């Protein structure tokens, strides 16, 4: 009776229900396709997926180290994939929520710490050697032929953005182009948005607008709504987001300053 009890206890201690494994490796290099297996003292009991039945094989013929190593690797891969899918799903839910929170009013909305900040338009002006004129949004103005600059007052924008790759939502007011541009400081406390070359042909005015466009990614999120962010981290300096129609000289501008971390 004592020997039988010790044998039963030994089986209960040694028997191990292993994690699901695709292959039960043998020491001769072969393997069995299995759904699961158990180590029972001097043999291994496994469920063969090929024959849909339980079978046994001497333990000394089984390469348990390789079998367990592969099973552990498969488990780790599955856990990593599950974690990545969960993170992707969470990011998609967050992105959808952000888009839903963008106001219906046209304009630029800066994303910071998960919150949207609505920006106001900057007032720009055209400066030439002959005339200095305030540029009213969407209102064409008389211009003299020659070279000029589109400028913003002030050496630096009041809105500050940390260096890096800031994200913006841009809800357009019309089917026009939009971009992020780098501004150039000018003596006298102003910033140049773009250089202009103005010519008149048979009484009709033509404007060539030269601006320093920052390479960006753009993703449409809805009707007239886009997400825009720089391809590379922004260096400290002065920047702006613009909505414009080429040659019409009626841009809408939202300026910002990138500060060093």
Domain span holding position 64: 1-101
Please check whether residues 125 and 188 belong to one and the same domain: yes
Residue 91 shares a structural domain with residue 130: no
CA 186 from chain centre, in angstroms, equals: 34
Query: Do 54 and 111 have their domain in common?
Result: no
CA–CA distance, 168 with 228 (Å, rounded to integer) = 5
What distance in Å separates the CA atoms of residue 253 and residue 166, rounded to the nearest whole number?
17
Same domain, yes or no, for 87 and 123?
Answer: no
109 and 96, same structural domain? no
The torsion region of residue 16 among left (phi > 0), alpha (psi -120 to 50) and beta comes to beta
Distances, alpha carbon 79 to alpha carbons 22, 37, 89, 135, 139, in Å: 16, 21, 15, 59, 59
pLDDT score of 227 = 95
Q: Give the chain's domain count.
A: 2
With vertex at residue 219, the alpha carbon angle to CA 222 and CA 224, rounded to the nearest 5 degrees, is: 35
Same structural domain, 77 and 142: no
Res 11: pLDDT: 41
Q: Are residues 231 and 169 in the same domain?
A: yes
- 47 and 139 housed in the same domain: no
Structure tokens at 68: 């367990």
Token pair recorded at residue 92:
């998609």
Residues 158-207: tens digit of each pLDDT: 999 987 899 999 999 999 999 999 999 988 889 999 998 888 777 777 88
The model's pTM: 0.62
**Taking the chain (261 residues) in consecutive chunks of 10 residues, what is each chunk's mean pLDDT?**
45 41 86 92 92 92 91 88 85 74 92 86 83 46 72 93 90 95 91 89 80 96 94 95 88 93 72
Q: Return the C-alpha torsion angle 128, 130, 135, 139, nearest 10.
A: -120
């Amino acid at each position: 009776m004592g020997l039988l009890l010790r044998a039963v206890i030994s089986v209960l201690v040694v028997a191990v229900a292993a994690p699901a494994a695709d292959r039960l490796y043998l020491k001769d290099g072969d393997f069995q396709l299995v759904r699961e297996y158990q180590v029972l003292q001097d043999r291994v009991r496994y469920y063969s997926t090929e024959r849909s039945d339980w079978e046994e094989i001497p333990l000394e013929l089984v390469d348990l180290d390789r079998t367990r190593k592969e099973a552990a690797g498969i488990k780790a891969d599955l856990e990593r994939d599950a974690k990545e899918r969960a993170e992707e799903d969470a990011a998609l839910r967050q992105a959808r929520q952000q888009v839903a929170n963008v106001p219906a009013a046209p304009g630029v909305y800066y994303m910071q710490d998960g919150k949207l900040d609505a920006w106001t338009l900057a007032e720009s002006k055209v400066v030439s050697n002959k005339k200095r004129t305030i540029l009213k949004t969407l209102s064409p103005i008389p211009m003299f032929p020659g070279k000029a600059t589109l400028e913003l007052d002030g050496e630096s924008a009041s809105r500050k953005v940390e260096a890096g790759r800031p994200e913006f939502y841009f809800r357009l007011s019309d089917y026009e182009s939009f971009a992020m541009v780098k501004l150039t400081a000018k003596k006298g406390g102003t910033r140049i948005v773009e250089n202009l070359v103005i010519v008149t042909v048979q009484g009709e005015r033509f404007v060539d607008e030269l601006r320093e466009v920052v390479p960006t990614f753009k993703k449409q999120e809805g009707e007239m709504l886009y997400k825009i962010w720089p391809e590379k981290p922004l260096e400290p300096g002065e920047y702006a987001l613009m909505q414009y129609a080429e040659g019409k000289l009626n841009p809408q501008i939202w300026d910002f300053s990138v500060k060093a971390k």
